[in-house]
């Protein structure tokens, strides 16, 4: 990962529609390295932004070497986003106007015509530690209080805190299988249900699932890998000058975080506004039927199981067009997102030497009748300058 001081570049339900109604926030309670000050690892950064623009893409799996800035960039993403409007005092970050993002208590109060107090809150960023228990993840019911006082006492877990936000799992390939199953259920349904001793609690749990890991430390279960909408790879920077720049930037931030953040604030605000504009534009972005047919032809040619690959590619291409200020998806948009959307869904052949990403590009060139010797930069998921 590389950092820079300045650039001139300028929900789903989960992060969303409500944040567009709130003003851009210039102050943050926590100080993290500014997202706009990160350069390099373009594929990772843009994949994260596309999932914020359209959380229904399904999250991002980030695999790569240790020390390449995966965690730094992911945590910086939450700091970049504008505040969301939540019901005051609600542990589930309930939306004041979307029933699908409300706890049962809030929904009942709204239906009864009660007054709902709201407040602005930073988009939640929840880290799932590897040693977490299922009760810590899902929440637990206080049986003693339920029996003694006759009330349902539920202690919300990490899934509740992540509602309408980001759930980050570092070293996801080392996560216990039973926690993986819980994550899959919540990511698929958008709800978390806890049942203990005849007591049942159900609450919304819609979040952008972000995972990172080092492939040398273990493979991911195929069913978990398929749940991630996009997959990106990060590599260690080899250029000596860029490595020195990383060190200098990190040192400057560690020595004076406030001044460093202030120097990047204009870029943060510009990128934040660009994301909000893209969210608002997304519904008006269209994709030609011929392009959709070609996307499905690629998935069929690659023998991709299920239809999730088709759906994710369509959504990612639309989000990319919205991010770049356009209302029509182009062939180039598909070229830039298709590798990240499909390569982790391909069946692995231990005897095949070709990289899965290269297989996707090869089939893309066949379906779209492009020269296979085309410039590979056309297939990179990076921001246009």
Cα–Cα distances (Å) from 237 to 14, 61, 229, 245, 250, in that order, read 34, 20, 26, 11, 15
Helix (H, G, I), strand (E, B) or coil at 93: coil
Catalytic residue (one of 206, 227, 308, 343): 308
Verify whether residue 152 is a known catalytic residue: no
* DSSP calls for 318-349: HHHHHHTT-SB--HHHHHHHHHHHHGGGSPP-
d(CA 85, CA 93): 8
Pull the structure tokens for residue 165.
Answer: 């936000």
Give the CA angle between residues 138, 88, 105 to the nearest 5°: 55
CB 372 within 8 A of CB 362: yes
Token look-up 């390939």 returns 173
> Which residue from 211, 162, 167 is spatially nearest to 344, judged by alpha carbons?
211
Q: Contact at 8 Å (CB) between 183 and 138?
A: no
Helical ranges in the chain per DSSP H: 42-53, 70-80, 104-111, 134-138, 143-149, 158-161, 177-189, 222-227, 240-255, 257-281, 289-301, 308-323, 331-342, 356-367
- The SS3 call for residue 129 is coil
Under 8 Å between Cβ of 49 and 324: no
Q: Which residues have a catalytic role annotated?
A: 308
């Amino acid at each position: 990962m590389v950092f820079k001081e300045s650039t001139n570049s300028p929900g789903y339900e989960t992060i969303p529609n409500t944040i567009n109604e709130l003003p851009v926030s210039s102050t943050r309670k926590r100080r993290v390295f500014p997202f706009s000050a990160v350069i390099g690892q373009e594929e990772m950064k843009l994949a994260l932004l596309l999932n914020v623009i359209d959380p229904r893409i399904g999250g991002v799996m980030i695999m790569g070497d240790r020390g390449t800035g995966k965690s730094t960039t992911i945590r910086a993403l939450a700091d970049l986003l504008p505040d969301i409007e939540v019901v005051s005092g609600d542990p589930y970050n309930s939306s004041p106007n979307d029933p699908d993002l409300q706890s049962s208590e809030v929904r009942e109060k709204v239906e009864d015509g009660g007054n709902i107090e709201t407040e602005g809150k930073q988009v939640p960023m929840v880290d799932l530690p590897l040693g977490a228990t299922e009760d810590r993840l899902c929440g637990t019911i206080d049986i003693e209080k339920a029996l003694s006082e006759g009330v349902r006492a539920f202690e919300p877990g990490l899934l509740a805190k992540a509602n309408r936000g980001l759930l980050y799992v570092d070293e996801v390939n080392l996560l216990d299988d039973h926690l993986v199953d819980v994550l899959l259920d919540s990511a698929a349904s958008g709800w978390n249900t806890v049942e203990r001793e005849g007591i049942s609690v159900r609450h919304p749990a819609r979040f952008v699932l972000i995972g990172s890991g080092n492939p040398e430390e273990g493979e991911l279960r195929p069913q978990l890998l398929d749940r991630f909408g996009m997959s990106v790879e990060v590599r260690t920077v080899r250029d000596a000058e860029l490595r020195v720049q990383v060190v200098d930037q990190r040192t400057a931030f560690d020595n004076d975080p406030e001044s460093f953040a202030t120097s990047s604030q204009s870029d943060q605000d510009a990128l934040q506004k660009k994301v909000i504009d893209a969210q608002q534009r997304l519904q008006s972005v269209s994709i030609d039927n011929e392009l959709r047919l070609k996307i499905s032809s690629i998935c069929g040619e690659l023998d991709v199981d299920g239809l999730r690959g088709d759906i994710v590619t369509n959504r990612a291409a639309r989000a990319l067009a919205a991010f770049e200020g356009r209302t029509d998806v182009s062939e180039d948009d598909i070229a830039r997102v298709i590798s990240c959307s499909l390569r982790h869904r391909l069946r692995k052949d231990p005897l095949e030497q070709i990289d899965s990403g290269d297989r996707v590009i090869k089939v893309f060139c066949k379906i779209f009748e492009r020269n296979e010797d085309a410039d590979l930069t056309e297939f990179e998921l990076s921001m246009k300058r």
